[in-house]
Chain A
Amino acid sequence: MVDSLPQGAPALEQVEAPSLVPESASGAAAAGTLSHRQRIGLRLSKHRLAVASLCALFVLCALAAFSEPLAPYAPDARHLDYPYAPPQSLHFDPQRGLYTYALQRHVDPISFRKQYVELANEPLKLRFFAPGEPYELWGLIPMNRRLLSVEQRELSAGAAPSSFFLLGTDRYGRDVLSRAIQGARVSLSVAGIGVLFSAVLGLCLGALAGYVGGRTDRFIQRAMELVNAFPQLPLWIALSALLPADWPALSICVALSLLLGVLSWTGVARVVRGKILALRQEEYVLAARLMGASRSRVLFRHLLPGVSGELLVALTLAVPAVLLGETALSLLGLGLRPPLVSWGVMLQDCMDVKALRSHPWLLSPALLIIGTVLSFHLLGDGLREAVDPCGSNAR
């Protein structure tokens, strides 16, 4: 659809390096012209931070999609020998490859304070793609190989069974890394569904406002102002109380994403409305109208495709708000609940100051949150410049 974009669009840029043209480019590329989408891609690839963010997000999504084999342990596997184990150190030497040291748990017999000591005489090899605990990929395909697992062997007396916790464990000895990887799946899906929902809402309302105009436009604009004037989080807090607590996990996930989407559509709608207003003035639209195209054909065939770039930007920039909304709600115990694992659910443990102070590694999901949000911001910024180079001549 996008490839068949208007011939009447603004003058095309000259391509300096034809070798950069992707193999998938259509015949137009050979003729020295590029499609709208290709030009966006080209400009984006010059924005280094955006490319880096895109790669990072790709990795993150892969992590979320293949969380089972990538995580060293099942997210809810409890290692009762290792409550609050600190992150283990990682070492490398050419002979042994990657290895870590076995932990010895030491419980003070008087205060029951738990301490862990790395046993320097007990190195444990780390193996890649070795068979480990069996699991089912996406709940369908039974597998047992995991990306990283630790060698299992008899250890000297006093040491707990061999283990490898790169980011430590929580109060029940669950591996923080594995949970963070599983959390990526849940958090990103909730954010994704929420943003998709807000995209649908925003696209419909924005297109309606921009295309119909008049009273409808004014009404939708007032509605947007109103939604924007609400403090989102308190409203989300109030709305999340509406979710029936006895719903199954999946329904809660979907309902929560819809809830988050309901308040985040205004950004999309604003962009779509503006772009449609602008495109409506274009001659090719007039031409289509004169040729007798119906209103809906003009809207769907000629106007909406032109919005795609801006829509992409708006959606990318909408993800952080939804992601952080989910995290904040789960942190307060109002969003997702165990046994679901999301980053916000993991951070719930940090609300206990005492636990947090003695076990700072519980904060590590926060790094993933920051990284993800940062990537989306940078990517959105790069995309915006790529889609609309004139509007952002600043850089």
Chain B
Amino acid sequence: MTLRTFSIGVPLACVLFALLLVGAGAALRPAPSAVPRMPSEQELAAAQKARDVSFDASHPDSLPRFERPIVPEQALDAPWWPEGESPILAQLVAEGKLPPVAQRVGPEPVVLDGATGAQPGGTSLGKYGGTWRQVVTSADEVSSIELGMGYSSLFRWSPLGDPIVPHLALSFDESPDRREYVVHLRPGVRWSDGFPFGADDILFWWKYQQLDTALGDGAPPIWLRSGKGQTRLEQLDELTFKVSFDEPFGNFLEVMAANSFLMTRFPKHYFEKYQPALADSEFLAAELKAFGSTDPRSLWREHLMRWDNPECPRLWPWIPRSASTSPPFLYMRNPYYFAVDPQGNQLPYIDRIQFDLKASEALPLTFTSGELTLQGRHFSPESYTELMSRQQEGHYRLLHWYSAARSTWVINPNLTRYIDPLEPATAKKAKLLADPRFRQALSLAIDRPAIVRAHFDGTVRASQLEPGGPSPFHSERLANAFIDHDPARANALLEELGLSQRDLDGMRTFADGSTMTFFLTFTADPGRGPAELVLDDWREVGVRVIAREQSQALFQQQRDSSDFDLTVGISDGDHFPLLDSRSFAPQDSEALYASAWGRWFARGGYFGSPRALEQKNAYAPPLDHPMYAAYRALVEARQLGTLDERVARFREATDIAAENLWTINIAQAPPFLVVAKEGLRNVPTKAMYTARTPANAGAETYYFEEPSHAADAATRDAIEHLTPLPRPGELAPSAAVAAPRNPNRELGEIVRWSLLGIAAAFLLLVSLRHPYITRRILVLVPALAIVSLVVFAASDQPPGNYLSARVVALSERGDSDALAQLDELRQRFHFDEPAWKRYLRWVGVNWFTTHDDEDRGLLQGSLGRSLETGRSINELVGDRIVLTVAIAIASVLLAGLVALPIGIYSAVRRNSLGDHLLGLLAFVALSVPPFLLALLLLLRGGVPGSFSPGLAAQSGWTLPSAIELLKHVWIPALLIGASGAAALARLLRTQLLAELSQPYVTAARARGVQRLKLLFRYPLRVALSPFVSGIGALFPHLISAGAIVAIVLGLPSVGPLQLGALLNEDTHLAGAMLMVLSLLSVFGTLLADLLQLWLDPRIRHQKGPA
């Protein structure tokens, strides 16, 4: 290398580099847009009006209400007298399968006048029919059917919260000292099976569930208690019951609106069959066995009380008629629903609800596809622009509702941080987090105006978490507490705390000079939000905080043990702080900043109940803590009679919060975004979004302008025939008879086993003929042993995993229930055994002595159990392996097939233009990593919809789906195989050239052997051997590339599962996936070796390659 070339080359490279950057800028710049059109004044005014969610809650009576009072004596003469019904039900009535509508609805129905009815000249009368479609991201989310859609409480909230209107109850009488409340239930209400509903059912709940120590808490619920005193509930007559308290109870109506749905979940005639004290013990024992439950409590919790138990009668407008385990989840209209429209037509108008399960990544696409009928969940403020500008093409309206939760992203410093005796840093962190000055400093360090501008589009006001402007409990003082951006003051506070030393990075250390690092954990639901900006601000004042995303399940465990530093939460119901006081005085474990105090309070610790101290992770605040004053304010405010008194008393709690900063918030919650399909009527433009929404916003009155009747027959069938809950224990012995096995699944099974069989037979044959192969396979044994050791070591090492988090959580709880679960975990995972024992267990060595199914391990083909769910990993992985193998094989084939002609061409036409071009192309292909290709594919529109999550685990293979897979598998295979093809082509070219220059080639040519014939007969065959070994060497790289491409594209293969498991810290699952991938690649290499053996007689006849 000469200096001269360099002195020319470097400046040239500089210039070229600069040009490249300019070119890149120009290429990536979007087409220059014309000056955007300014919307007209009216459009703007309309948008601003839609965005303005403020309202005045100080005069509840002026707020909208859909429930209309009636005069029951008018009965048949009144327009509301139940006469109209859905054609589906009318048909069933005509066939004699249902009683007439008036009998079903009862003489005093709830009359609901939908949103349009309130407008002048408007009518709320709707049309029957149609399916209300919603999307959930997990099957458990469907439970919102109970609260959000059912909301079968005694009294109900209206669209904007107040006024509270009668629902299952008609009214209540309050004694002057507010110690006795007599509730009158609505007459004629029936459960969804036609059985009358009455005070019996409420008393059953009270006596046989709530106060039952085995089935319930053994004590009144926290929301139905006042002070230290007792609560009594007694039945006065069929429709009347009385609640009495030892101390005054102030906000009975609000509490009923919020919580009384819990009182009406237990139809006596259904649950008494399962209540040990009342039930026929033989029947109960049989049912316990059939459901595979060990005790009645788990039977109730895991089966009977579930929202999708079709056998349990309900009071909801839409009810489950079969417990489906796979989506879509369907809920049908309740023929006995007790509400009508002002013209006496039975509600609801919409026939059924359908929940579709979607991966959360696929959600942004669903709203524009026009699938959703009305949906409030899952629309993050970040997608506002997208949602707002696509209303026309997606045929929906974007509604802005007021959010009762007053923050979508609030930082909870953990005041009751768990102190790990093995980690001294946790004690120091706990001390700091509990110090109000530290929290104040963190709050003052945040530049809220900048975040509001950068992250919230400047639409919301910077504020701490408080009940919000429309709430009577609004506190301006709390809203503005420590929200100024004042790094100097923050620094001063931190210095005051003794955090004056700095480490190498310039970050503050603990007072003793050790490194100080906090973690800010967040789950997918609040999301990353403005975390990066906040952390930058904290870094400015020298506090190192690292953001870490965690799975919901893992975080749940850490919350139970309070083992986290700071976490991001979504608040809930701050609008009603006396009902949900979590942000101001922890009332249960949902108060993330002090969940231990919350548990203590929830179990009556504040009133000296001994139950409060049963759990280790429930304890009281330190004796002189200001939290006691906040609790006192909360408890006393709840006892006061009028709203004004309650507000005045509660002010102390918000003032204390303003001083102590329990939470650190950035800004108020932006409007809650609700997508409503075009043509859906009676949807109010303004409503408050709470956990009881859309029920409070008149969900029963929504109707389609043009309802579809496609599903009518299915709906009628479902209403007519109930599908009972499957009883797994009953099915087990005769599974084949009761449920014919899915033939598709069987096909997959057959394909799998026959493939395995063919492979085994082939290997056996080959190794009989060639002892070398036997040796080659024998070498594999120690290799696999080492692979499994490495995988085990890699997956066993991380100090924190899901299991240890769960173990800490359970031992922190420390009650008998938790200890029993701990024992079960110990039996299942043997976590206190030494590592080598666990390794042997994992490999499956123990099975040889016990032959116990539980002891199956890798050698028996069992990948172990997931730490998180306890389910078998084989089941979880399911057909992901098939897809992974398919992609790997396709990419190898593709790489080989592409490389072969290119390699031959460039060797034969050596130094031709084509050779040079192909050579350069190969270098470029080598240099573009597969994940970039995948990103480019995403940019171009992603993978065509063949790799839906439906293709993933447990779906079973059908012929069409297999063909569909084969049709599309080449796309990822191309991305993965491109660089491999380049490497192989270069390899082949080199080998072939070396061979072509051999004298025998010249000799053969001289004797007139045809070029092509010669090429294919000798040199190519020789060159092919290293080519094949090259494929073998490439295989592990293809597996690697396949993993990352699958992750980027979201394909349901093994790689993404490994990453997901790591996020969950489910190290068993992650390790198992790594093992699968390693095995694949080891076997791929072996296969290439065998192929080489077949191709190359030299190796066969020798004793094998050196």
Q: A residues near B, CB below 8 A?
A: 20, 22-23, 41-42, 44-45, 51-52, 54-56, 58-60, 63, 76, 78, 80, 83, 86-90, 106-115, 117-118, 166-168, 171-173, 177, 222, 225-226, 228-235, 237-239, 241-242, 244-246, 248-250, 320, 324, 327-328, 331-334, 337-339, 347, 350-351, 353-354, 356-357, 360-361, 363-364, 366-367, 369-371, 373-374, 377-378, 381, 392-395
**B18-26, B614-622, B652-660, B850-858 - interface stretch:** B18-26
22 cross-chain CB contacts under 8 A: A41-B1, A54-B6, A59-B10, A80-B450, A89-B26, A109-B48, A110-B39, A111-B384, A226-B787, A229-B1081, A230-B790, A233-B1041, A234-B1039, A234-B1043, A237-B1058, A239-B794, A248-B544, A250-B505, A328-B929, A356-B935, A361-B29, A367-B20
- Apart from A55-B9, A230-B1081, A231-B1080, list 16 A-B contacts with CB within 8 A: A41-B2, A54-B1, A112-B459, A229-B1081, A230-B1078, A234-B1074, A237-B1062, A248-B505, A332-B1047, A334-B1062, A356-B939, A366-B932, A367-B20, A370-B932, A374-B923, A394-B990
Which of A23, A44, A370 meets B928, CB within 8 Å?
A: A370
Closest residue of chain B to A240, judged by CB?
B1062
Which of B39, B519, B994 meets A246, CB within 8 Å?
A: B519
A229 — which chain B residues lie within 8 A by C-beta? 783, 787, 1036, 1078, 1081-1082, 1085
Give A159 Cβ to nearest chain B Cβ, in Å.
Answer: 13
A173 — which chain B residues lie within 8 A by C-beta? 454
Give B599 Cβ to nearest chain A Cβ, in Å.
Answer: 28
B517 — which chain A residues lie within 8 A by C-beta? 246
- B 772-812 to A, binary, CB cutoff 8 A, 1 in contact else 0: 00000001000100110011001101110000000000000
- Is B25 within 8 A of A87, CB to CB? yes
Which residues of B in the span 958-1003 have a Cβ within 8 Å of any Cβ on A?
989-990, 993-994, 997
- Is B505 within 8 A of A249, CB to CB? yes
A367 — which chain B residues lie within 8 A by C-beta? 20, 24
Which of B12, B386, B454, B1039 meets A78, CB within 8 Å?
A: B454
Give A187 Cβ to nearest chain B Cβ, in Å.
Answer: 13
B13 — which chain A residues lie within 8 A by C-beta? 52, 55-56, 58-59
A60 — which chain B residues lie within 8 A by C-beta? 17
B924 — which chain A residues lie within 8 A by C-beta? 370, 374
Give B505 Cβ to nearest chain A Cβ, in Å.
Answer: 5
Give A46 Cβ to nearest chain B Cβ, in Å.
Answer: 10
Which of B3, B790, B797, B938 meets A22, CB within 8 Å?
A: B3
- Is A363 within 8 A of B35, CB to CB? no
B931 — which chain A residues lie within 8 A by C-beta? 327-328, 331
A354 — which chain B residues lie within 8 A by C-beta? 364, 383, 386
A350 CA to B2 CA in the complex, in Å?
A: 42
Known contacts A83-B454, A86-B30, A248-B503, A228 near B1036 by CB under 8 Å: yes
Known contacts A59-B13, A246-B517, A90 near B25 by CB under 8 Å: yes
What 8 A-B pairs are tightest by C-beta distance, nearest first? A87-B25, A55-B9, A246-B517, A233-B1040, A111-B388, A55-B13, A374-B927, A231-B1039
- Is B1062 within 8 A of A363, CB to CB? no
Give B1003 Cβ to nearest chain A Cβ, in Å.
Answer: 19
Closest residue of chain B to A355, judged by CB?
B382
A52 CA to B8 CA in the complex, in Å?
A: 10
- Is B9 within 8 A of A52, CB to CB? yes
- Is B24 within 8 A of A80, CB to CB? no
A367 CA to B22 CA in the complex, in Å?
A: 12
Which residues of B in the span 1002-1043 have a Cβ within 8 Å of any Cβ on A?
1033, 1036-1037, 1039-1041, 1043
Known contacts A235-B1074, A356-B939, A371-B20, A172 near B1081 by CB under 8 Å: no
Confirm or deny: B942 has a beta carbon within 8 angstroms of a beta carbon on chain A: yes
Give B336 Cβ to nearest chain A Cβ, in Å.
Answer: 45
Confirm or deny: B74 has a beta carbon within 8 angstroms of a beta carbon on chain A: no
Closest residue of chain A to B504, judged by CB?
A248
- Is A87 within 8 A of B5, CB to CB? no
- Is A234 within 8 A of B1040, CB to CB? yes
Tally B residues with Cβ within 8 Å of A. 116
Give A352 Cβ to nearest chain B Cβ, in Å.
Answer: 9
Give A109 Cβ to nearest chain B Cβ, in Å.
Answer: 6
- Is A109 within 8 A of B1082, CB to CB? no
Which residues of B in the span 517-545 have a Cβ within 8 Å of any Cβ on A?
517, 519, 532-533, 535-536, 539, 544
- Max chain B C-beta neighbours (<10 A), residue from A107, A173, A373: A373
A90 CA to B23 CA in the complex, in Å?
A: 10
- Is B1062 within 8 A of A58, CB to CB? no
Which residues of B in the span 444-473 have a Cβ within 8 Å of any Cβ on A?
450, 453-454, 457, 459
A160 CA to B839 CA in the complex, in Å?
A: 62
- Is A112 within 8 A of B35, CB to CB? no
Give B518 Cβ to nearest chain A Cβ, in Å.
Answer: 9
- Is B28 within 8 A of A23, CB to CB? no
Closest residue of chain A to B1084, judged by CB?
A229
A360 — which chain B residues lie within 8 A by C-beta? 28, 30, 939
Closest residue of chain B to A327, judged by CB?
B929
Which residues of B in the span 1040-1057 have a Cβ within 8 Å of any Cβ on A?
1040-1041, 1043-1044, 1047-1048, 1055
B1067 — which chain A residues lie within 8 A by C-beta? 241
Known contacts A56-B13, A245-B546, A109 near B39 by CB under 8 Å: yes
Give A5 Cβ to nearest chain B Cβ, in Å.
Answer: 18
Which of A239, A332, A339, A371 meets B1044, CB within 8 Å?
A: A332
Q: B residues near A, CB below 8 A?
A: 1-3, 5-6, 9-10, 12-14, 16-17, 20-22, 24-26, 28-30, 32-36, 38-39, 43-44, 47-48, 364, 383-386, 388-389, 450, 453-454, 457, 459, 503-505, 507, 515, 517, 519, 532-533, 535-536, 539, 544, 546, 548-549, 779, 783, 786-787, 790-791, 794-795, 797-799, 910-911, 923-924, 926-929, 931-932, 935-936, 938-939, 942, 989-990, 993-994, 997, 1033, 1036-1037, 1039-1041, 1043-1044, 1047-1048, 1055, 1058-1059, 1062, 1067, 1070-1071, 1073-1074, 1077-1078, 1080-1082, 1085
- Is B1040 within 8 A of A231, CB to CB? yes
- Is B1058 within 8 A of A366, CB to CB? no
Closest residue of chain A to B797, judged by CB?
A242
Known contacts A52-B13, A87-B25, A44 near B536 by CB under 8 Å: no
Known contacts A88-B25, A246-B517, A248-B504, A23 near B10 by CB under 8 Å: no
Which of B32, B454, B549, B786 meets A226, CB within 8 Å?
A: B786
A58 CA to B939 CA in the complex, in Å?
A: 32
A58 — which chain B residues lie within 8 A by C-beta? 6, 10, 13
- Is A56 within 8 A of B454, CB to CB? no
Known contacts A234-B1043, A377-B923, A363 near B504 by CB under 8 Å: no
Which of B549, B795, B938, B1055 meets A353, CB within 8 Å?
A: B938
- Is A394 within 8 A of B9, CB to CB? no
B799 — which chain A residues lie within 8 A by C-beta? 244
Which of A83, A88, A110, A117 meets B33, CB within 8 Å?
A: A117
- Is B1040 within 8 A of A339, CB to CB? no
- Is A51 within 8 A of B1, CB to CB? yes
A78 CA to B453 CA in the complex, in Å?
A: 12
Known contacts A59-B10, A112-B388, A166 near B22 by CB under 8 Å: yes
- Is A377 within 8 A of B28, CB to CB? no
A45 CA to B385 CA in the complex, in Å?
A: 55
Give B623 Cβ to nearest chain A Cβ, in Å.
Answer: 33
A29 CA to B278 CA in the complex, in Å?
A: 107
- Max chain A C-beta neighbours (<10 A), residue from B9, B364, B535: B9
B1048 — which chain A residues lie within 8 A by C-beta? 331, 351
A347 CA to B931 CA in the complex, in Å?
A: 10
- Is B938 within 8 A of A245, CB to CB? no
Closest residue of chain B to A333, judged by CB?
B549
A354 CA to B363 CA in the complex, in Å?
A: 12
B453 — which chain A residues lie within 8 A by C-beta? 80
A245 CA to B924 CA in the complex, in Å?
A: 36
Known contacts A54-B9, A59-B17, A110-B39, A90 near B1 by CB under 8 Å: no
- Is A167 within 8 A of B929, CB to CB? no
